[in-house]
Structure 1
Amino acid sequence: MPLTTAQILPVGLLVASNIFMTFAWYGHLKFTDKPLWLVVLASWAIALIEYCFAVPANRIGHEVYSAAQLKTMQEVITLIVFVGFSTFYLKEAVTLNVAVGFAFIALGAFFVFKGPF
């Protein structure tokens, strides 16, 4: 059974949303010399773009996914994006305890999508 646009598009929109969200929340950590008020304003500007992806992702996605599934999808995508961001942008290594913690979150996502028991 082929996937529909309503199944695929929310994933792509959530990936884009999370890239912007991660930069809004953590990108300023490389600019500690800038005043806090400035990085807050810059973060809000980036977050506005993030919302332009997140809201349609959830509206379109809710046609085929439950709200719990959409939230779970968003959290797993957030972790994947964050690992890449943390590694490549912030140059911080992902430790074993972080990997294990994220794996437990992924296991929780499996149960959300597995269906009723």
Structure 2
Amino acid sequence: MPTILLLVASNIFMTIAWYWHLKGGMEKPLLLVILISWGIALFEYCLAVPANRIGFAAGWSGGQLKVTQEAIALLVFGIFMVTVLGEPVGWRHVGALVCLVGAVAFLFAGK
């Protein structure tokens, strides 16, 4: 459970680092946006690295950690996309999430 919680928190920071400037920050100079994003991403790394170490120590494989992170990233981005960017969720978004959840299930099956 600590792995999942840390991955969720790290993905929140990374989503903000990558996409915050799309809504209201497009007029800022690119170099400034990059520097701000790097600062935000530092917190993401401070959460993602321990999440992966804890998960690996608990017996998760690298593949399990990565595909779980990707599923969480899509879910976090979906929430950001709707709440911050004001974009609608379509059937393709839902289908992509279902496929990623399936990938997670395949990697954890029989473990």
Instruction: State if a TM-score over 0.5 links the two structures.
Output: yes
TM-score of the pair, normalised by structure 1: 0.88
User: 2:11 aligned to 7, 10, 18, which one?
Assistant: 18
Gaps of 5+ in 1: 1-7
Residue identity (%): 50
**CA RMSD of superposed structures (Å):** 1.1
How far does the alpha carbon of each residue in 1:39-74 deviate from its partner, in whole angstroms, 9 at most, with x for none?
110100001110000000011110121111111111
> Which residue identity does 2:100 align to in structure 1?
I
Tell me the residue number matched to 2:56.
62
Number of equivalences: 109
User: 2:102 aligned to 87, 107, 116, which one?
Assistant: 107
- Distance in 2, Cα, partners of 1:15 & 1:29: 21
For the Cα contact (< 8 Å) 2:2–2:51, is it kept in 1? Answer: yes
For the Cα contact (< 8 Å) 2:10–2:48, is it kept in 1? Answer: yes
| 1:17-96 correspondence to structure 2 within 5 Å | 17-30=10-23, 31-64=25-58, 65-96=60-91
Q: CA deviation at 1:94?
A: 1.1
Gaps of 5+ in 2: none
Q: CA deviation at 1:102?
A: 2.2
